[in-house]
Structures are given as C-alpha cells and as structure tokens.
Chain A
Amino acid sequence: MESFKQNDGNRDELIIQQQREIEKEISDTTPLVSEQLPLTCLWAEYNGDDIFTAKIQDLSTKYKFIRRTRPDGNCFFRAFAYSYLEYLISNSSAYQEFRKLAEESKDKLVQLGFPSFTLEDFHETFMEVIKRVSPDNPGGPSKVQSELHKIFNEQGYSDYVVVYLRLITSGKLQEEADFYQNFIEGDFTIEEFRHQEVEPMYKESDHIHIIALCTALGAGVRVEYLDRGEGGTVKAHDFPEGTEPRIYLIYRPGHYDILYPN
C-alpha cells in the first residue's frame, strides 16, 4: 500500500508550488478591487474576437464602467459587498435597514450552530466596515466612497467581509435546507455542500450561493453573462427573480466583476 505511485508526493508538491506562483502573480498584478475602468477596456482582452466584440458593444449601451475584482475564488462575495455598500452610501434609508439586518445576523448564525467565539470576531469586523461607510459620516459621499475603496483593498478587512458573507450564505442554506437541497448536484447533502463549497475561503460561487446571499440580505443582483454563446447580445439574469437590482455584476466563465449602469 505504501509503494504505489511513488511520485505522487513530488507531483503534489509541484502542483502546489505552481499554484502558489500563479496566485502570487495574480495578487501582484491585480488589486483586490480596482478603480473604475471604462467598459470598453474589455475589448483589449479578446483581441478583436467577433463574438466578444459584438457582445461588449451591446453591453456598453447599458453600462459605462467596470470595476475589476481579484480572481481568487472570492470574487463574487467581494464584488457583491463592494457594490452593495456603494449603493447604500447614496441611500441612507436602505443603509440603516441593512445595518440593522447585519447587526442582528450574528445571533441568527449562532443559533444555527456556528462557534460564537470566532463568529463574533468576524461579525465585529463586518460591522466596523459598515459603520465606516455610513452615508452620514463627515466628508460626504465622495469621502465615504474613497474610504470604502481603501477598506476593500486592505486584505484583513476585505477578507473578513468575505468570510462573513460566506457565513450568512451558509446560514441561509441551512435555514432553508429543504428548498436549497433541490439545487445541489451529486450526492452532497446541504450540510456537506455548505462546509465544502460555501464556508471555506477561495471557493468559487455558483447560482445557489448568489440566490442564498441575495435572499438573506434582501439585495437584488443582476448578472450579465459574457460568454461565447450565440445571439450577439449579453444575457442578464436577476437574483432573486423579479427583484429590482441594486448590484450589477458581469460574469465571464469563472469570474465576477462589478458593472456600473449608465
């Protein structure tokens, strides 16, 4: 038993090493959240490919800017949090409502069985971030906006926000397990799925994550899908269906960035 596949250990090491090099390259070249960029900067990525050129053209009739997030597996959560807080900065009543919801979310998660000791730490940081981007803070919206940008590029804060959103997502899946179980592929139980695909950092998000998070926070998201598909136009999908979107994201296979409508 000990002797089969002797080289496995070495190969694993090489894979891990290579993965780390890729991660380092990404983190050296891509900030956690970028500045706003003109949407048309996407053209450069597709070298005049006809399908994509047409689709980006189509998209640019609806959106002016894009804000990139680092492709580290946390992009959906980071983009969601950034974009939603950005919306809340300019919407005081929605901000207050969300702040209350966020405040109360901790007790709910403790009830659902997360270890309160560590949960409290994540929650505290999450609340601190929310408070630092209050529309009522001195300096006005532009000052708060730049504070938001700064916070989200500080790994410590940025990642804690991601963790907390993952926990909220996981909590929602557990809370409505009967419903969400229907959307899980394979033999995973909802419990396994949460622990394996939702709670750990760097795990990519799927529709089920998006639906659970949007529902838990009452925040509508529109996702524009930019892929090789037929039709020349970009397809959009709203989560949860029929809700007015507050957050606009662009999805290219494997990655989410933030969009800014005209």
Chain B
Amino acid sequence: MESFCIDRARRQLQLGEQMTTAASTSQHATSSSTLMAGSGSLATSSSASAATTTTPSSSAVRALAMEYKSLQEEPVEGFRVKLINDDNLFEWEVAIFGPPDTLYQGGYFKAHMKFPHDYPYSPPSIRFLTKVWHPNVYENGDLCISILHPPVDDPQSGELPCERWNPTQNVRTILLSVISLLNEPNTFSPANVDASVMYRRWRDSQGKDNEYPNIIRKQALAANAEAKREGIVVPMTLEDYCLKPTRKPTTESGLDANFYDDDFDLETEDDLPTDDDFDEDDDDDEDEDEDEEDSATASISKNNGGSSKCKNNGLGREAAAAGADDAESADDSGKGETT
C-alpha cells in the first residue's frame, strides 16, 4: 500500500543530485525532470504559437502572481508566504505556524514550495526545511499529500481519489490541507514508515505510548526557538492564530522579518511545552524512549543537509525582547490536544 510514496521517494533520491546541480542554474530543468507526470503542456510552449503571446508558463506566471498578491494582501491564518527570490514566482518559502492546542503548538515550520511550469494544471511540490517527524513527510522533508499528486490511476497508492489535484486548488487550499494533515496523518500512504508505526502505536494505545507526541513537541519547541532567533513571533493562542492582520507590508522590505506580522502577541517561554511535559507518563521506561527518540531525530536530520540553518538575526532578537513585555499567557480555555 505504501508503494506510491516509496517509489516516489526512491525516484527523488535518484533525482536529488540532478536537482541540486540544476537548481542553481534554472528551475525549469528541475520541474520538468522530476515529479510532475501531468505537465504535458510544458512541451507545447514551443508549438505553433508564433502568433500568440500567451504560453503555458505565462498562464502559470499570471496565476502565481495573482495568488501571491492576494496572500500578501490578505494573509491566511496559520501561515505566511514569501518568494525565495523576488524575480522568481515559481519558488516560494512558506512558514506554517503550529496550530494552538495541538502537538504542534508554538512550532514554526518552514518549507519550500516549487511550482511546475504548467501550474495550475499540475500541482506544486512542498519540501519542509524544518525537521518534521510525520508519517507523510520524507526524511529529506518532502511532503507526500494527495492534494499535491496529479490524478493518475494508481490503485496502489492507498489514497482516496477525492483528494487529488485539480486546477482550482491553490496555495491556500494546499496549506490548509497541510495544516490539517499535521494532526491527522494519513497512515495508509506513509512516506516515513517509522513515524507512521510510532504514530499508530500512540493512537492505538490511547496516548499511553507517547514517544510520538514527545518527538513532535520537541521539534515544535526547537522550531519555536529558531523562530525566536529570527525574530518571528509564533501565535500561541487560538485567538492570535486566527487574528487576521489588516496592515499591509508597505515596502519591499516588508517581505523580510517584518513581514511576519508583529501584531501577534509575543508569548513567553512559559507557554511553550517544556521538557518536563514530555515525560509525564513514561517514567518507567524513560531511558528506552530517549534512545529511540534520539535515533529517530538523528534519522530525520540525515537527509536534511543543513537546510535549516538559523539566521541568528540580532535585530530579530531585539524585537523579540521588546515585544516580550506585553506577553500574555496561553489560552487555557481552548480545546485539549487532538489525540
């Protein structure tokens, strides 16, 4: 049942080297040589379009420019986007905030989104830069979610066909799917089999086997620390999370650290899950768990190639310190963890 994602993983491993060499020169080459099975019209741009000004890739440019502009003007709760290079609409950096009252609370997960040249007819791909231990995320960070799969007839994939890509899907709908996938992994089509097994053990033991949540919380905590280093304030309460900033970035520089809206209240360290929280239930087999945890974390980072280097931004720290004064406590009235 896992064959779809696993085959894809293998393909990507093979292609990994190509990708890194090609990435510096042109992302055309990578998008056409990798994932997108349905990108037929890529080839058509050279066809009898002498009299035309509209090529498939200008359709894609138009769609992406429109989406990008709209997401800048009306950010959607739970995530932020920016371009990796201002002159390339086909590669975005997205930041997903861990939803409050979930294992991911406080987390700040960065990912790269790469769009094919026949977007929106074919879906983009997403690779997490932040470590994410999740049944549907490969060790190298690639996300395996059905909404990003072109609709191929693949009875082996174990995915429901109703979740496939279609041209009305867009960055919003994708990222909302990603956020909900965080808390509801698809164990029928795991990209990370170990994480999937661990998740199921946690779920089936009604939370008694808490190796999985411990790793997630630890990663969320680490990601939060990194966010702080970058001067980014992660919303910790449902209220802040759902807050829709009205202020638009005024200048181009607004796309940088300031872009991550500073309307969000800054939370203190107290609101974050701490290491004490992790070991609530497993005092008896603490050692064993820790060992497994370490090996798991190690294997995640194996393929991550230093992509999540922190930017240690002095200005950011100042901003964080300044904001700490009006910190509030977390919203305790919220729902419990979604277990």
Give the B-binding residues of A (Cβ under 8 A).
Answer: 1-2, 8-10, 12-13, 16, 19-20, 23-24, 27-28, 31, 72, 114-115, 117-119, 121-122, 150, 153-157, 159-160, 163, 167, 188-189, 191-192, 195-197, 199-203
Contacts and interface: CB of A to CB of B under 8 A. Distances in A.
A202 B40 CA distance: 9
B45 A155 contact: yes
Interface stretch (B49-57, B105-113, B300-308): B49-57
Contacts of B160: 192
B161 A155 contact: no
B38 interface: yes
A31 B2 CA distance: 40
Contacts of A160: 59
Contact of A1 (B2, B63, B167): B2
A23 B170 contact: no
9 contacts: A27-B44, A27-B46, A155-B52, A156-B55, A159-B121, A195-B151, A195-B162, A200-B38, A202-B40
A135 B180 CA distance: 49
Nearest to B47: A27
A122 B168 contact: yes
Contacts of A16: 37
Interface stretch (B6-14, B214-222, B314-322): B6-14
Contact of B121 (A1, A28, A196, A201): A201
Contacts of A195: 151, 161-164, 166
B142 to A, nearest CB: 14
A197 B169 CA distance: 16
Given A23-B40, A115-B172, A150-B51, A188 B161 contact: yes
Contacts of A159: 41, 56, 59, 121
Contacts of A20: 32, 39-40, 42-43
A115 B168 contact: yes
Contact of A118 (B37, B46, B58, B170): B170
B56 A196 contact: no
Contacts of B39: 20
Interface of B: 2-3, 6-7, 10-11, 14, 32, 37-49, 51-56, 58-59, 62-63, 66-67, 70, 120-121, 150-151, 160-170, 172-173, 193
B10 A163 contact: no
Nearest to B11: A9
A3 B43 CA distance: 34
A189 B160 CA distance: 11
Contact of B70 (A19, A117, A191): A117
Given A118-B168, A155-B59, A160-B59, A8 B41 contact: no
Contacts of B47: 27-28, 31
Contacts of B164: 195-196, 200
B44 A154 contact: no
A118 B168 CA distance: 5
A19 B151 contact: no
A195 to B, nearest CB: 5
Count chain A CB atoms within 10 A of each CB in B44, B45, B55, B170 and give the residue with the most.
B44
A160 B150 CA distance: 18
B193 A201 contact: no
A154 B50 CA distance: 10
Nearest to B51: A150
A40 to B, nearest CB: 24
A187 B66 CA distance: 38
Nearest to B71: A117
A191 to B, nearest CB: 5
B49 A153 contact: yes
B7 A8 contact: yes
Contact of A28 (B38, B46, B58, B169): B46
Contacts of A122: 167-168
Contacts of A9: 7, 10-11, 14
Contacts of A118: 63, 120, 167-170
B170 A115 contact: yes
A155 B11 contact: no
